[in-house]
A and B are shown apart, each in its own frame.
Chain A
């Protein structure tokens, strides 16, 4: 026998119902994140667009719209064009190196060996240290007078004598010669991004089912074949995520270039983010700085879309 029905009394039986409704509660819980993103990312982004269309300066941040003048001025500036080129070189070269090295490191870390935890700890260290502090350390490594790298080269007879491999100068002047300066900022960036990429790759490699590898071994597949046919295809989505994360970090990075070279010598290591800072803040042309920074947006937007797609594909896998 069924019991009596108890219909809910209107307005009285479901007090505080918002907390009991899954949909409403979900919205409530996600609200702080949405507000945070809107306030910390959305608002500055909209402001950057408005500034880029105005004649604002640091001393007069009022918005008087001037159309696309700032974008035209940026495009006609030879330093901007050089910075744009340098940004791509800096990003793509350093990320290509990061992907190769992180794969090597991840493979090595998959194997059991004594002191593995120490090696892992040391690899993670650059990621945990403040970037500016680490870069200042590198600044001393590349110092024009006291560089320990130069000291080692001199000690090995590779520098400082007429017959030395790297010439008769007492120092390499890492940050004073354009090619070496670019190589130096790339090296430091690789050092900084490598831990993250290694951890991501390690996760990808660990997720490959062992029986698949074992089956391939039983079938007589060589290590190269196993890598090409199993490891790479199965880890491609996660490697792509590591690559794209690295691209986003590097493309927007100011610290490495600012601390090491300030964009020099003669703008040969200038990148968009550092040029934005020099033009927009140091020189006071806020509008021009905003316009330069917005040139980064298309690349970052494409990278973000790819990251999200890859992440979704990884979920399916």
Chain B
């Protein structure tokens, strides 16, 4: 009988070692490598758009087709909104990754590691006309004179109200001034049992609402030259207003507000007024048409002295890391994106607005019903907001018409100054929503503002020391 041969320890180790080496080497033998220097690639990282059809029906195909037409292999990766900062930090730190990264807030803190895109802005303005000031202030650092990102579009942040509730309370056209939210919003809550929903929480929408309130009360975090001016009587006035508003018209859900709360509250019929993009309304159109038909819009509400500003809801910001491998392709793609922004507007169901309103509409079939006489994006913007192509069949016409002149009452994070890393950190650490929430929870408005000022001044001093913002200590 043949004796079974045992494997010795030495033989086992040799075989295992060979296996490991083979596993490591094999991919380099069988997977062909791209030749260095031949820039036939473009890797794009973008957020997963709130309107799913934007990505599925347009962006991915558009990018791919552009690549095919130019002999470039385009890869588009989508990630969730919350992952963008950490992913960008990781790629910048590693010195590799995508050639283009899209943010939906100004990525000003990345200025040292990204390309100055002044040439792209210059070329875009040459081809498509002036970039909207809001977008420029969200991408340009006046201190270093660099465009740390390129902004092809933005999103409007109007107020949405339930007409039937406001009509019953005696304000058919919805709120016009912030004080209406207390007078009529309070009445709706008391008599009809529906609160209004303006977040006072540690999240995105609450941050924008807080800024809209301050700006409409003629105050802000910084002035035009990036000096901290937060602690002043007007901020105290706005903070005291928010304490009254919470008491009269809201419930503690606003302290737990999240990115989905606006949609959720409106669709559930549990909000008489919210501050959000039109996405909440679009969701209602699909899920609860009866509620959608009752949703109407207001421009920025006015403060006690007649000023009314709203924050941009999303600012599309493309950055190109300095170590990106396909810089020229990235720049070409950005210019082409602006040239096709009519489709971005349409496939986002008017969620996206253009940064270059004077850009001409390309000829030929564009994937939507042609608009008579429309030559520029401005014409499309006006026509679509006057007559919403996505309105339900039996819905009232012209509901979105108030958004036509949104760029007049919309502004950037950092208003009246530019967006900058200090403003970004104040935003990311929720200083303003917490200032208002503290007052709403019973803190003296003066104390709440003082605490916020202390945090803000520390943040500004730090970034000023790095010479990334202007102003004085």
Given the complex of chains A and B, what is the CA–CA distance between A175 and B421 in angstroms? Answer: 30
Q: Binary interface profile of A, 12-39, with partner B (CB < 8 Å = 1, else 0)?
A: 0000100110000100000000000000
| Interface of chain B residues 236 through 259 with chain A (CB within 8 A) | 251-256, 258
- A61-B256 contact given A169-B251, A285-B425, CB 8 Å threshold: no
- Choose, from B87-95, B345-353, B385-393, the stretch at the interface: B87-95
| Interface of chain A residues 258 through 308 with chain B (CB within 8 A) | 261-267, 278-279, 281-286
Given the complex of chains A and B, what is the CA–CA distance between A285 and B110 in angstroms? Answer: 11
Q: How far, in Å, is B253 (CB) from chain A's closest CB? A: 4
Given the complex of chains A and B, what is the CA–CA distance between A248 and B32 in angstroms? Answer: 45
B: residues with CB less than 8 A from A are 9-10, 13, 85-86, 88-89, 92-93, 107, 109-114, 200-203, 251-256, 258, 261, 264-265, 268, 270, 421, 424-425, 428-430, 434, 437-438, 441, 451, 454-455, 458, 462, 465-466
Residues of B close to A146: CB separation below 8 A: 264, 268
Q: How far, in Å, is B117 (CB) from chain A's closest CB? A: 15
Contact between A57 and B109, CB atoms less than 8 A apart: yes
Given the complex of chains A and B, what is the CA–CA distance between A5 and B428 in angstroms? Answer: 80
Contact between A265 and B424, CB atoms less than 8 A apart: no
| Interface of chain A residues 62 through 83 with chain B (CB within 8 A) | 73, 77-79
A173 at interface by CB-CB < 8 Å: yes
Given the complex of chains A and B, what is the CA–CA distance between A279 and B462 in angstroms? Answer: 13
**Ordered nearest first, which 4 A-B pairs have the shortest CB separation?**
A284-B109, A176-B256, A144-B253, A59-B110
A-B contact pairs, 9 of them (CB 8 A): A19-B9, A55-B465, A145-B268, A171-B253, A173-B252, A175-B256, A265-B256, A284-B424, A285-B425
A60-B113, A176-B255 given; 19 more Cβ-contact pairs under 8 Å: A20-B10, A58-B93, A59-B112, A60-B466, A61-B93, A77-B455, A173-B253, A174-B256, A176-B253, A265-B200, A265-B202, A265-B437, A266-B202, A266-B441, A267-B202, A281-B89, A282-B429, A284-B110, A284-B425
| Interface of chain A residues 195 through 249 with chain B (CB within 8 A) | none
- A266-B466 contact given A281-B86, A284-B421, A286-B89, CB 8 Å threshold: no
For chain A, give the interface size range.
35 or more
Task: Say whether chain B's binding surface is mostly helix, strand, loop, or mixed.
Answer: helix
Given the complex of chains A and B, what is the CA–CA distance between A263 and B93 in angstroms? Answer: 27
A: residues with CB less than 8 A from B are 16, 19-20, 25, 55, 57-61, 73, 77-79, 143-146, 169, 171, 173-177, 181, 261-267, 278-279, 281-286
Residues of B close to A264: CB separation below 8 A: 201-203, 255-256, 430, 434
Given the complex of chains A and B, what is the CA–CA distance between A79 and B10 in angstroms? Answer: 59
